[in-house]
């Protein structure tokens, strides 16, 4: 259980922060940037959900994802060891990735086929979901970079999760646009 009695600790006043294992890192460290951008994705989803209340199924999916994003942040904030014992740290698991894939397929089933790229916009919910999608893609880029750094590790499940999540957010934006009927399509060269 998490207990937060004091919000400020003053320990970060020197520009560092503690990881889940107690190790101190600079606040601009790539691992901190990664889980910070996951947190930013979560905040963008919270904003998007202000406009998805009329779509309870979509809103429920997004609520579950917000909880998963705290799991992902905890995963990233605690660098994996070479050998981990079961339950030693909270990790994203394949079942969470599988659930995203099932939800993508379910949401996508009723969408109009795409004949062009979609411009971010349409309804307020769709626009907000596109913002969340692009923040998620930034988190994915940071995590992929972190995973390739010497002496750093990111689990394969975490990388798969963030990749699927951006796909789900794209599909969710189309659902929020009346199942694609309200999509704003790109017209190549329209303004030449």
Q: Is 16 inside a domain boundary?
A: no
Cα–Cα dist 114/22, whole Å: 48
For residue 20, the model assigns a pLDDT of 82
pLDDT digits (tens, 9 = 90+) for 66-95: 999 999 999 999 988 765 666 678 999 999
Name the stretches of the chain with pLDDT < 70: 1-2, 82-87
- State both tokens at 7: 């919000």
Beta bridge partners, 26, equal 16
For residue 19, the model assigns a pLDDT of 84
Q: Is 85 inside a domain boundary?
A: no
For residue 1, the model assigns a pLDDT of 60
For residue 83, the model assigns a pLDDT of 56
Structurally, how many domains does the chain consist of?
Answer: 1
**Contact between 24 and 16 (Cβ < 8 Å):** yes
Determine the structural domain holding residue 141 and report its residue range: 25-78+90-183
Q: Is 5 inside a domain boundary?
A: no
- Report the CATH number that the domain containing residue 154 is assigned in CATH: 1.20.1200.10
Q: Is 31 inside a domain boundary?
A: yes
Q: Is 6 inside a domain boundary?
A: no
**Residue 8 CA to its chain's centroid (Å):** 26
Q: Is 44 inside a domain boundary?
A: yes
Q: Is 191 inside a domain boundary?
A: no
For residue 17, the model assigns a pLDDT of 87
Classify each residue of 151-181 as buried b or exposed e, where b means 16 or more C-beta atoms within 10 Å of its C-beta: eeebbebbbbbbbbbbebbbbbbbbbbeebe
**Which distant-in-sequence residues (6+ apart) come within 8 Å of 111 by Cβ?**
171, 174, 175, 179, 180
Q: Is 8 inside a domain boundary?
A: no
């Amino acid at each position: 259980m998490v207990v937060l009695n004091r919000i400020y600790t003053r320990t970060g006043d020197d520009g560092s922060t503690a990881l889940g294992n107690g190790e101190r890192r600079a606040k601009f460290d790539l691992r901190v940037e990664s889980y910070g951008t996951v947190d930013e994705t979560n905040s963008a989803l919270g904003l998007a959900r202000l406009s998805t209340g009329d779509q309870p199924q979509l809103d429920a999916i997004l609520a579950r994802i917000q909880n998963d994003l705290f799991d992902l942040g905890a995963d990233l904030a605690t660098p994996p060891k070479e050998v981990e014992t079961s339950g030693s740290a909270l990790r994203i698991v394949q079942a969470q990735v599988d659930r995203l894939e099932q939800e993508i397929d379910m949401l996508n089933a009723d969408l109009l086929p795409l004949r062009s790229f979609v411009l971010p916009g349409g309804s307020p919910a769709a626009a907000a979901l596109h913002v969340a999608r692009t923040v998620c893609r930034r988190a994915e880029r940071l995590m992929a970079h972190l995973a390739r750094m010497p002496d750093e590790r990111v689990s394969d499940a975490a990388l798969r999760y963030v990749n699927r999540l951006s796909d789900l957010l794209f599909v969710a934006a189309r659902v929020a646009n009346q199942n694609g009927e309200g999509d704003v399509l790109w017209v190549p060269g329209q303004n030449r």
